[in-house]
Amino acid sequence: MQTHTTTRSAILAVVLLITFIISWELYLRHKGVIADYDDGPELWADKRAMVYEPADKATVFIGSSRIKYDLDIPTWESLAGTHAIQLAMTGSTPVPMLDDLANDPKFKGSLIVDVTEILFFNKAPYFLISPAEGIGYYKKRTPAQQASFLLDKPVEANLAFLNSAHLSINGMLDHAQVKDRPGVYPTLDFPIDFEPTMFNRQNKMTDRFVADTNLQNQVKGIWAMLGKDPSPPMSGKELDAFMQNIKSDVDKIKARGGSVIFVRTPSNPPMYIGESMGYPRKLYWDRLLATTGCKGIYFADYPATAHLVCPEWSHLDPKSAITYTKALVSILKQQEGWNLKMAANY
């Protein structure tokens, strides 16, 4: 009799759990939440393992969040004819990733480096955390972890409630409206509609975000807060040493037959004005190209990209990302040393 009661209780518990999960998922879907992927070290490492594809078959992208939004990967792959491997990380400097690839003797591919000045020319520990986690995980991941990642993929692709950044316990606590303690780096409360991540690691704003100025203003408020950071830009001997380190990494890749090009993706005033004042183009971008001997594509130099609108001043919406990617492929077609397989109908 006791066994029968225990069995019934277990069945009831399972039924209640399944009912809760289904109800929670349906509620989130009704609210417009979409299923996406956890953009953590596991997903990054999956892409990092792809960089050994032949240079004429793949292009590797590193940078910060802008290239993750602004590069529309299906458009790139259709027009450029190469697999786009997205290794950029939000809120991070790409310099550790450049160094990682430069010191990997097996990497001989084509590399595009996106430069967001305030992150690229920055050694603040906070901006190094995610790259260190991703690179460390890639180098130490086990076959069991790789198998677990493959098993998780179809589940994440279909269940919105698995969004760990916003809907896990820690995620909800991070986005709770609680005042930060003095001296603690503030939680950046980005709306869930701003951050969806595809399996290819492209970020896409939702249609609701693109249409909702309140959500856009929430993100603008975050940029305004970060813009008050009193830390002076890198300069003097520190900048000299930094430039030489970048040159050293670029030279290593070139010596193995690889290619490196820098891009500066769009941003809009007032953010662009602040970036230009803090990091004058001549002193940072132009010097970066001169020091490394690399070509660069600066969005403001080309009519097709100069006037693209970022809804929150810093990242392109999905439609504009397609426009930018088409223009980028067209520009790269003209760059010496970049043998892109252009689509016949472009």
User: pLDDT tens-digit profile of 201-248?
Assistant: 999 999 999 999 999 999 999 999 888 877 889 999 999 999 999 999
- Contacts of residues 150-153 at CB distance under 8 Å and 24 or more positions apart, as own/partner, are 152/42, 153/37, 153/199
Model pLDDT for residues 12-60, shown as the tens digit of each residue: 666 665 665 555 445 555 555 565 678 899 999 999 999 999 888 999 9
Instruction: List the one residue out of 43, 82, 44 whose CA is nearest residue 328.
Output: 82
111 and 215 inside one domain: yes
172 pLDDT band (50/70/90 cuts)? very low
346 is a domain residue: no
289 and 321 inside one domain: yes
**pLDDT value at 158 more than 80:** no
340 is a domain residue: no
pTM for the full model? 0.83
240 and 283 inside one domain: yes
The boundaries of the domain holding residue 256 are: 41-333
Q: Give the chain's length.
A: 346
345 pLDDT band (50/70/90 cuts)? very low
342 is a domain residue: no
4 and 122 inside one domain: no
- State both tokens at 250: 């670029």
> How many domains would you assign to the chain?
2
CATH no. for residue 303? 3.40.50.1110
- How much is the mean pLDDT over the chain? 85
177 and 298 inside one domain: yes
233 and 135 inside one domain: yes
Contact indicator for 269, 292 with CB cutoff of 8 Å:
no
15 and 162 inside one domain: no
- As a whole-number percent, the residues of the chain with pLDDT over 70 amount to 76
261 and 123 inside one domain: yes
105 and 224 inside one domain: yes
92 and 25 inside one domain: no
Scan for tokens 């003097």, then name that residue. Answer: 236
45 and 165 inside one domain: yes
